[in-house]
Amino acid sequence: MKKKDIYLIRHGETEWNTCGRFQGKLDSPLTAQGQIQARAFGAKISHMKVDIDSFISSPLGRTIQTASIISRCVNLSPLKLDERLAEVSLGSWDGLTHVDIDAQWPRVLDGSTQFDWYFRSCDGESYDTALDRANQWLNETHGVILAVSHGLIGRIIRGAYLKLSKEDTLTLPVPQNMIWRLHDNKVEPINVD
């Protein structure tokens, strides 16, 4: 069996990223900067001359838009959509800002950190559920994969791959100018700037 080699990308910057609105399963389009980032991902993958076996994306609009721009730069297999790569849902908090959450659910974020607050929503996806789908996806992938996903689930995928604790997983960085290569039980950052 061919060795697993995953190139994991977070979608480019979106309009909601710029104003602190948490997207979850909702969507907003890429900004001009997000489109530049997507082109940079494509150029970097093209320059690396990686033979991609599977090109996979979350089914959400911002990842599909990013993947579409990447595919203009690199000759890739047809894009497959995989729900397991979709962003963690914050339930009723999808599309809101911290100010909105504080106004509608006073004190619910008290005692949370900048990393674990995502899982305080009463109807959002739990960490364990997101971790289960990340592990399932990792266990079922093989070959050389280019995957376009999101910030929080991207953290969880990398943490699952490295077998990190929840606390360590949630503090992993999520820049929008980085390709993460998961191979040989390591995660290597590849800067695209």
Options 47, 83, 87, 150, the catalytic residue: 87
Q: Which of 140, 142, 151 is nearest to 180 (CA)?
A: 151
Q: Which two tokens stand for residue 54?
A: 């599977």
Q: Which two tokens stand for residue 93?
A: 């908090």
11 in catalytic set: yes
Options 11, 13, 125, 150, the catalytic residue: 11
167 in catalytic set: no
**What DSSP letter does each residue of 141-184 carry, written as one string?**
--SEEEEEE-HHHHHHHHHHHHT--HHHHHTS---SSEEEEEET
- What single-letter amino acid sits at 160? A
Strands (E), 62-138: 79-81
**What DSSP letter does each residue of 21-73 carry, written as one string?**
---TT----B-HHHHHHHHHHHHHHHHHT---SEEEE-SSHHHHHHHHHHHHH
Active site residues: 11, 87
